[in-house]
Amino acid sequence: MEKTTLFDKIWDAHVVRSVPSGPDVFFIDKHFIHEVTSPVAFLNLEKRGVTVKYPHRTIATPDHNVPTVDQDQTIKDKLSRMQVERLRENCKKYGIELHDLGSAHHGIVHVIGPELGITQPGMTIVCGDSHTSTHGAFGAIAFGIGTSEVEMVLATQCIMQSKPKKMRITVDGELGSGVTSKDIILYIIAKISAAGATGYFVEYAGSAIQSLSMEARMTICNMSIEMGARGGLIAPDETTFNYLKGKQYSPAGEAWDQAVAEWSALKTDEGAVFDKEYTFEAADIEPMITYGTNPGMGIKVKGNIPTTEGMEGSNKISYLKSLEYMGFAPGEPVKGKKVDYVFVGSCTNGRIEDIRSVASFVKGHKKADNITAWIVPGSKEVEKMAHEEGLVKILEEAGFELRQPGCSACLAMNDDKIPSGKYAVSTSNRNFEGRQGPGARTMLASPLTVAAVAVRGEICDPREVFEN
Partner 1 sequence: MAYDKFTVLTSTAVPLPAENVDTDQIIPARFLKATEREGFGDNLFRDWRYDVEGNPKKDFVLNDPTYSGKILVAGKNFGSGSSREHAVWAIYDYGFRCVVSSFFADIFKNNCLNIGVLPVTVSPEFAEKLFNAIASDPSTEIEVSIPAQTITLLTTGESESFDINSYKKDNMQNGFDDIDYLLNMESEIDKFEKTR
- The stretch among 75-83, 202-210, 278-286, 453-461 that binds partner 1 (CB under 8 A) is 75-83
Among 63, 149, 183, 354, binds partner 1 (CB under 8 A): 149
Smallest separation, CB 360 to partner 1 (Å): 32
Alpha-carbon gap, residue 416 to 410, rounded angstroms: 9
Closest by CA position to 372, among listed 437, 423, 442 = 423
Residue 195, interface with partner 1 (CB under 8 A)?
yes
Closer Cβ to partner 1, 77 or 401, answer by number: 77
Stretch that binds partner 1, among 38-46, 102-110, 251-259, 266-274 (CB under 8 A): 38-46
Binding residue for partner 1, selected from 4, 8, 54, 247, defined by CB under 8 A:
54
Determine which residue in the list 3, 17, 92, 93 makes contact with partner 1, applying CB under 8 A.
Answer: 17
Residues 396-415 that bind partner 1 (CB under 8 A): 411-413
56 counts as binding partner 1 under rule CB under 8 A? no
**Binding segment for partner 1 among 193-201, 329-337, 358-366, 383-391 (CB under 8 A)?**
193-201
In angstroms, the CA 93 to CA 423 distance is 44
* Size of the chain, expressed as the number of residues it contains: 468
Q: Binder to partner 1 among 430, 441, 456, 463 (CB under 8 A)?
A: 430
Range 143-152, long-range pairs (CB < 8 A, 24+ positions): 143/201, 143/230, 143/231, 144/225, 144/230, 146/37, 147/37, 147/38, 147/40, 147/41, 148/41, 150/31, 150/33, 150/37, 150/38, 150/41, 151/40, 151/41, 151/42, 151/44, 151/45
The packing angle between helices 39-48 and 78-94, to 10°, is 50
Nearer to partner 1, 143 or 341 (CB): 143
Task: Report the nearest approach of partner 1 to the CB of residue 118 (Å).
Answer: 15
144 contacts partner 1 (rule: CB under 8 A) = yes
Stretch that binds partner 1, among 68-76, 124-132, 251-259, 263-271 (CB under 8 A): 124-132
- Please count the helices (runs of H) and the strands (runs of E) in the chain: 17, 19
- Binding positions for partner 1, 343-382, rule CB under 8 A: none
Q: Segment near partner 1 (CB under 8 A), from 96-104, 195-203, 243-251, 328-336?
A: 195-203
Nearer to partner 1, 14 or 365 (CB): 14
Regarding 433 and contact with partner 1 (CB under 8 A), the answer is yes
Count the helix, strand and coil residues of the chain and give each as a percent rounded to the nearest 5: 40, 20, 45
Residue 158 annotated in ligand binding: no
Contact between 308 and partner 1 by CB under 8 A: the answer reads no
Cα separation, 274 vs 256, in Å, equals: 32
Determine whether the annotation assigns residue 91 to a binding site: no
Tell me the backbone φ, ψ of residue 159, rounded to 5 degrees.
-130, 165
Element (H, E) at 444: strand 441-444
User: Residue 226 or 354: which CB sits closer to partner 1?
Assistant: 226
Applying CB under 8 A, among 51, 73, 148, 308 the residue interacting with partner 1 is: 148
For partner 1, give the closer residue by CB, 18 or 103.
18
Q: Please, which of residues 238-297 interact with partner 1 by CB under 8 A?
A: 293-294
Neighbours of 353 (CB within 10 A): 18
* Identified binder of partner 1 from the candidate list 130, 222, 372, 428, rule CB under 8 A: 130
Cβ atoms of 219 and 348 within 8 Å: the answer is yes
H/E segment holding residue 375 = strand 372-375
CA distances from 54 to 13, 29, 97 (A): 19, 10, 12
User: Which position among 22, 271, 310, 364 is part of the footprint of partner 1 (CB under 8 A)?
Assistant: 22
Q: Which of 19, 104, 273, 329 binds partner 1 (CB under 8 A)?
A: 19
**Are β-strands 423-426 and 341-344 bridged in parallel, bridged antiparallel, or unpaired?**
parallel
Which of positions 77-96 make contact with partner 1 (CB under 8 A)? 77, 79-80, 82-83, 86
Please identify, among the stretches 144-152, 203-211, 396-404, 446-454, the one whose residues bind partner 1 according to the rule CB under 8 A: 144-152
Tell me which residue of 388, 408, 444 sits closest to 183, measured CA to CA.
444
Query: What is the distance between the alpha carbons of residues 224 and 132, in angstroms, rounded to a whole number?
Result: 10
438 interacts with partner 1 by CB under 8 A: yes
Q: Any contact of residue 74 with partner 1 (CB under 8 A)? A: no
- Rounded CA separation 33/62 (Å): 8
Q: H or E segment at 217?
A: helix 214-222
Q: CB atoms < 10 A from the CB of 338, how many?
A: 12
Please give the Cα distance from 323 to 293 (Å, whole number). Answer: 8
Q: Of 194 and 444, which has the nearer Cβ to partner 1?
A: 194
Which CB sits closer to partner 1, 42 or 274? 42
125 binds partner 1 (CB under 8 A): no
Q: Indicate whether 147 belongs to the interface with partner 1 (CB under 8 A).
A: yes
Identity of residue 223: M
Instruction: Give the residue with the Cβ less far from partner 1, 95 or 438.
Output: 438
**Can you say which residues are annotated as belonging to the binding site for [4Fe-4S] cluster?**
347, 407, 410
